[in-house]
Chain A
Amino acid sequence: MSRPAPSPIFTLRGAGAPLNTLHFSCHGGDTPLLFSGSGKGAIHMWNLNTRRAETVAEGHSGNSVVWVNTLQGTDTLISQGRDMRVCLWDLSEGRRAVLDSLWTGSVGFCQCSLLEMSTGTHLLAFAGQQTEEIKIVELPSKTPVCTLVPDAKLGMIMCIKLWQPDSGPGPLLLAGYEDGSLLLWDVTQRAQLSQTKAHPEPVMCLTFDPQCLRGVSGSSEKDLCSWRLDGQNNLQLQDSVTLVNPGVSQLCVRGDGKLLASAGWDHRVRIFGWKKLRPLAVLQYHTDLVLSVAFSDHQDPRQRLLAAGSKDQRISLWSIFNEGADTG
């Protein structure tokens, strides 16, 4: 028969607030790190070897941190808070100082999206002051690139994903809106390429795999909806998976494109095979909504971890499907 349901390999406690976002940084440096953003404005840097919080950074004056990320190649941390600011942190040589900050004007929960253009320059997409507005700036110069506003009334912008196609000239942006629509934007043309209605309810989260041009989005109801881009950059809905309980906070595809993890409002993390969305595991540990989920970027695939942050103020870490492909 099937194996018994797995347990977390360890958990991180002490954040003292709901954990809205998680980000691994394990591929370089000596110590693998996990960044977490809490509901009380603290950014924890967890050392995964000692399993303790190495540093706690407070930069959003007590407002909830909704998103953290690191700029590739530099020791720069970027965080987004509900104080309508995006902060850039210098982490080099043990410093924990805010380098720069950016006013977004967004009161929503939409997490930013970061794309590395060339060494040193990044594009950052974030929700703007208007409810439907997406702004894109270049970092670190903070030069505005464009502002994208849909023609039709689609409600508040809920989630965005910026990516660079292999074939096309400029980056594309996927956005989910409050009425359940998904839009594909061409950033350089500032044009809307494709639109589809994926959910009857607001799109809560989406993730996209540029390798196979497939993505999946979650909403506040039970269905996970998967879709793909055809050659003409048209969004085409594919099959959907029905969950046991409604509500998904976040979706994440593992780096090797084999697994999809969903953070559920029903306190559970679900694992699917990414190709066919076959349910593979249900991770039960948390006692409140799971808000975020992330796969680590370890270079050795066997060390890969899955982290889940929950409203119950804990982070659980799981080692799952890390064996070689032959043993399953």
Chain B
Amino acid sequence: MDSLAPHTEVRVAVAQCFRTLSTSTEPEDIISSLQTLHSFLDEGPESRSTPDQRAEFSRAHFTRTLQFLLSNIQADWLLGLSAAQRTDLWDGLFLRGPPEQALLVLMEGISELKASTSLDLLISITERFLLSGRLAALLWSSCLQTAPSDSPQLRETLLARIVALPDLTANRLHLKNKPCFCPQQYFTLLASEMLTALERTCQALKDGTDCSLIFVAQTLGKVCVQGHSGPVFAVMAPQLSVCTRSDMVWQRVCWKLLQNVPQRWMESVLTGLVQAVRGPEAFGRIIGNLVLTNKKAQYVVTHKLLLLQYKYETQVLRTVLGYLAADRERRPLLLQVLRALSQAWANPSAVKHTPLEQQLYVSKALLLSVNLLRDAELQELRSELLQCMLGGMQSHLDSSVVRIRHMGMVVGECLSARMDLNNTKLKFEYDQDEETLELLSLMTPISGEEPEEEPENGVTSPQETSEKTPSTQNASSQNKSKSDPGSDLDSDDEFSPYDMSADQEMTKESPRYLRDCLETLISSEDSVRVELSLRVAEGLVRKNVFAAREISVQLTKVLLHTEDKYSIRGFLSLRQTTMVALTVTDCIPVTQYLTTEFYSMNYGLRQRLDILEVLALAAQELSKPISEERSPSVGVSSCTDLTPYPGDNPVHWRQVVERRIQSKTKRLTKGATQPPAKATPNRYAPVAGHFFFPLLSNYDKPQVTFDLLGGDHLVLGRLIHTLGLFMHLAVNAPVAAQMGRALLDFVWAVRYHVDQMVRRGVLFAVCSVFLSMPSQNLLVDLNEQLFETRTWLADVAEGDPDEDCRNLAIQSLVMLDKSLKKQLQDQQALGMET
């Protein structure tokens, strides 16, 4: 009976208050009943209620009370209260009771009310609720309940409300949303409230009270899985990293917190944390040995972050791998990771079929982890690593993509250097670009491991550096003054020299007839004469067209077979420009010769590529409008100076493709306003067929030295690209329709080629077909093929591992659709007219 007494007492009192509030019109009555309700929340010595009563009110009546107040929000008595009274008595009830109940009621109210003063009132209460730290109180109260007393459903709802608060308010308030409800601010606030709760937990643990972190962990997990890990960890990670540095209790609390994160949310929490934390030490302090106890965490850290996802910064890799290496118990995992990484790196299929960015990511991870190995461990893994290195380098170096080859070279160099193979090291020649430099830099461990703000170290280090710098300066100035007496006034140092690099040796007399050049190139052994002949040949070809025509094929033949015996500066470009000039001057015989030679025996890949490049450049030159006169001297200088020999620099090739695609995209987006490129007569249109069709004829007849559909991907890719270029330049030419049909037929067989360069070439060719073929021909001639092509393009656009391929496929799809739409509209218009 005793236990019943306070219950009934409270229930009666609350019912009394409700009645008064709903019926009375006297302000005094209303105020006194509100004060009665308040008295159940007041704690402290002067409180009028007993603790039992307060507990009963919180348990059973608080939610009811708040709901009652909300349902009477439009009542006259509320409006009758003064602002101060309302804030104190009415709003105060929301802010002082158990926060979880208050939050639930507030959220419910907000989602039910339409825009009105009542809603504004609720919003302002919610705002104050957030700003007055009630969230921390909420989290902290959940920490204190070691055994959850409320139902799982209730907790689930509460969790959902906490995490979805920005969404709920934004949906209700639209543009009038308060800044503190915006995700960025709200989650920052939530993070600091979680930190407050954790801090109180630490304090409580030190005082000997048990706490439960389950609810906080759940909140963290849910926030992260909804994609707000950025702002949350931006606040939490630095703080946790600092707190755990010295305090064991904090470390325990952090470990417990992460252990309590539900499995399904573990991944997002870990990925968020690993990106926000600075350095492996901090990461290790915060998550402890979680990877050993939690399967999911282990999978995420050792597998997903390293092998499956590749969007993270290198710092994340450093953190993860450094974390695995830092502890004796975790080290086996590092070895396991290293094995997996080396297998992934060496896998020839992965080299072919995974995106380049992922390969780069794996390479970085591999180098970092190798760098972390101790020598003993290295010995243990040596044979495996060697295997991986040899196999992996082979498949990387086989690739036709330059970046992949470079990656293979750098990783091979680094691995061989680290493994110390009888003091021998691999050494490759490659251009130092940003990527290779970054990879190389991974092999030098960062000395100051944690760039965190450490007060002790932070003070000492600047002093050291400031001490060092003047001393070195002194030393250098002393050196200078020592050397000074030697140089008296007699020196010429008062003048600083100009750049004298152009001061080269003079060359001898250059030939003045093209035939002399030819003779020299055929028979001369004099390097100077050969060089001079090469230098003047292009000019002579362009100057005297008739003389050039007499010996064009012969000279082309000689040039095609000339080798750079004397390492002449700019040899390749000189040879190329001359051949281009010959092709342009005497188009049909030379193209005939070159296209025949392309498929004949006994040529190197280099020569075949040269043929393609010469043809492409010649076609480009011919396709310029006739009116635009081109002086030969300009041609010479621009060719030799501006364009480096394209063959030496395969990136150039891709850039050209991209630039062309870019220019096309522009034309498409502005298509409606801009008329299509004006058709002007050019020299290419009449001879386009001579460039194009002979190259299509023999591709499937493999020879001993040249198998286009087999191993010689590189040439195939270039061939298709060159054909695409011929097609593109043939826009408005009568032969374009035939060319387009033939080209689509040709590329159909290789559309799923393994090599991405070939695939890019194919897509470029398809683009140019759609661009250059008249749209009516597209529909009529390619009727049956179009549907299949569309399906294929859609497939590529979705699934190709190469980004360029996907982009090109999308471009082609867009172009195809546009031109089809235009054609169909035209037909409809015609039909209506008739």
Q: Is the CB of A3 within 8 A of B499?
A: yes
Interface string of A283-327 (1 = CB under 8 A from B): 010000000000000000000000000000000000001000110
Judge if B45 is at the interface, Cβ distance under 8 Å: no
Interface residues of A in 1-21 (CB under 8 A from B): 1-6
Return the contact of A3 from the options B492, B498, B504, B506 (Cβ within 8 A): B498
Return the contact of B496 from the options A4, A258, A276, A328 (Cβ within 8 A): A328
Return the contact of B506 from the options A266, A270, A326 (Cβ within 8 A): A266
Q: Is the CB of B502 within 8 A of A284?
A: yes
Q: Is the CB of A273 within 8 A of B499?
A: no
Q: Is the CB of A275 within 8 A of B490?
A: yes
Of all chain B residues, which has the CB nearest A283?
B498
Total interface residues in chain B, CB < 8 Å: 15
A280 cross-chain contacts in B, Cβ below 8 A? 492, 495, 497-498
B505 cross-chain contacts in A, Cβ below 8 A? 244-245
Judge if B830 is at the interface, Cβ distance under 8 Å: no
Return the contact of A6 from the options B491, B495, B498, B506 (Cβ within 8 A): B498
Q: How far is the CB of A284 from chain B (nearest CB, A)?
A: 6
Interface residues of B in 472-509 (CB under 8 A from A): 490-492, 494-500, 502-506
Q: How far is the CA of A132 from the CA of B671 in the complex (A)?
A: 85
Q: Is the CB of B500 within 8 A of A281?
A: yes
Q: Is the CB of A5 within 8 A of B495?
A: no
Q: How far is the CA of A258 from the CA of B497 in the complex (A)?
A: 13
A244 cross-chain contacts in B, Cβ below 8 A? 503-505
A190 cross-chain contacts in B, Cβ below 8 A? none
Q: How far is the CB of B509 from chain A (nearest CB, A)?
A: 13
Q: How far is the CB of A28 from chain B (nearest CB, A)?
A: 28
A245 cross-chain contacts in B, Cβ below 8 A? 505-506
Return the contact of A278 from the options B492, B498, B503 (Cβ within 8 A): B492
B499 cross-chain contacts in A, Cβ below 8 A? 1-5
B504 cross-chain contacts in A, Cβ below 8 A? 244
Judge if A161 is at the interface, Cβ distance under 8 Å: no
Q: Give the interface residue-count category, chain A.
A: 20 to 34
Q: How far is the CA of A17 from the CA of B504 in the complex (A)?
A: 27
Q: Is the CB of A279 within 8 A of B497?
A: yes
Q: How far is the CA of A1 from the CA of B495 in the complex (A)?
A: 14
Judge if A199 is at the interface, Cβ distance under 8 Å: no
Q: How far is the CB of B633 from chain A (nearest CB, A)?
A: 14
Q: How far is the CA of A129 from the CA of B385 in the complex (A)?
A: 89
Q: Is the CB of A282 within 8 A of B490?
A: no
B506 cross-chain contacts in A, Cβ below 8 A? 245, 266-267
Q: Is the CB of B492 within 8 A of A328?
A: no
Judge if A60 is at the interface, Cβ distance under 8 Å: no
Q: How far is the CB of B539 from chain A (nearest CB, A)?
A: 16
B497 cross-chain contacts in A, Cβ below 8 A? 2, 278-281
Judge if A177 is at the interface, Cβ distance under 8 Å: no
Of all chain A residues, which has the CB nearest B504?
A244
Q: Is the CB of A3 within 8 A of B495?
A: no
Q: Is the CB of A328 within 8 A of B503?
A: no
Q: Is the CB of B498 within 8 A of A325?
A: no
Of all chain B residues, which has the CB nearest A274?
B492
Q: How far is the CA of A245 from the CA of B491 in the complex (A)?
A: 26
Q: Is the CB of B495 within 8 A of A328?
A: yes
Interface residues of B in 250-304 (CB under 8 A from A): none
Q: How many A-B residue pairs have CB under 8 A?
A: 63
Judge if A268 is at the interface, Cβ distance under 8 Å: yes
B492 cross-chain contacts in A, Cβ below 8 A? 258, 272-276, 278, 280
A6 cross-chain contacts in B, Cβ below 8 A? 498
A270 cross-chain contacts in B, Cβ below 8 A? 503
Q: How far is the CB of A320 from chain B (nearest CB, A)?
A: 8
Q: How far is the CB of A222 from chain B (nearest CB, A)?
A: 10
B502 cross-chain contacts in A, Cβ below 8 A? 5, 282, 284
Q: Is the CB of B491 within 8 A of A276?
A: yes
Q: How far is the CB of A285 from chain B (nearest CB, A)?
A: 12
Q: How far is the CA of A321 from the CA of B496 in the complex (A)?
A: 9
Interface string of B743-765 (1 = CB under 8 A from A): 00000000000000000000000
Q: How far is the CA of A152 from the CA of B499 in the complex (A)?
A: 45
Q: How far is the CA of A284 from the CA of B501 in the complex (A)?
A: 11
Q: How far is the CB of A212 from chain B (nearest CB, A)?
A: 9
Of all chain A residues, which has the CB nearest B492?
A273
Q: How far is the CA of A121 from the CA of B213 in the complex (A)?
A: 113
Q: How far is the CA of A267 from the CA of B506 in the complex (A)?
A: 9
Q: How far is the CB of B226 from chain A (nearest CB, A)?
A: 55
Q: Is the CB of A275 within 8 A of B491?
A: yes
Q: How far is the CB of A72 from chain B (nearest CB, A)?
A: 29
Q: How far is the CB of A57 from chain B (nearest CB, A)?
A: 34
Q: How far is the CA of A23 from the CA of B506 in the complex (A)?
A: 28
B496 cross-chain contacts in A, Cβ below 8 A? 2-3, 328
Return the contact of B498 from the options A272, A274, A281, A326 (Cβ within 8 A): A281
A273 cross-chain contacts in B, Cβ below 8 A? 491-492, 495
Q: How far is the CB of A184 from chain B (nearest CB, A)?
A: 24
Q: Is the CB of A2 within 8 A of B503?
A: no
Q: How far is the CA of A258 from the CA of B492 in the complex (A)?
A: 8
Q: How far is the CB of B12 from chain A (nearest CB, A)?
A: 95
A1 cross-chain contacts in B, Cβ below 8 A? 499
A326 cross-chain contacts in B, Cβ below 8 A? 494
Q: Is the CB of B498 within 8 A of A4?
A: yes
Interface residues of A in 239-286 (CB under 8 A from B): 244-245, 258-259, 266-268, 270, 272-276, 278-282, 284
Q: Is the CB of A276 within 8 A of B495?
A: no
Q: How far is the CA of A258 from the CA of B500 in the complex (A)?
A: 19
Q: How far is the CA of A48 from the CA of B506 in the complex (A)?
A: 32
B503 cross-chain contacts in A, Cβ below 8 A? 244, 268, 270, 282, 284
Interface string of A87-114 (1 = CB under 8 A from B): 0000000000000000000000000000
Leading 10 A-B pairs by shortest Cβ distance: A273-B492, A281-B498, A282-B503, A278-B492, A328-B496, A2-B499, A266-B506, A280-B497, A325-B494, A275-B490
Contact sample, A vs B, 28 pairs, CB 8 Å cutoff: A2-B497, A2-B498, A2-B499, A2-B500, A3-B498, A4-B498, A4-B499, A6-B498, A244-B503, A244-B505, A258-B492, A266-B506, A273-B491, A275-B490, A276-B490, A276-B491, A278-B497, A279-B497, A280-B497, A280-B498, A281-B497, A282-B498, A282-B500, A284-B502, A284-B503, A321-B495, A326-B494, A328-B496
Given contacts A3-B498, A266-B506, A276-B492, 17 further A-B contacts (CB under 8 A): A1-B499, A2-B500, A5-B500, A5-B502, A244-B505, A270-B503, A275-B490, A276-B490, A276-B491, A280-B498, A281-B500, A282-B498, A282-B502, A282-B503, A321-B495, A328-B494, A328-B495
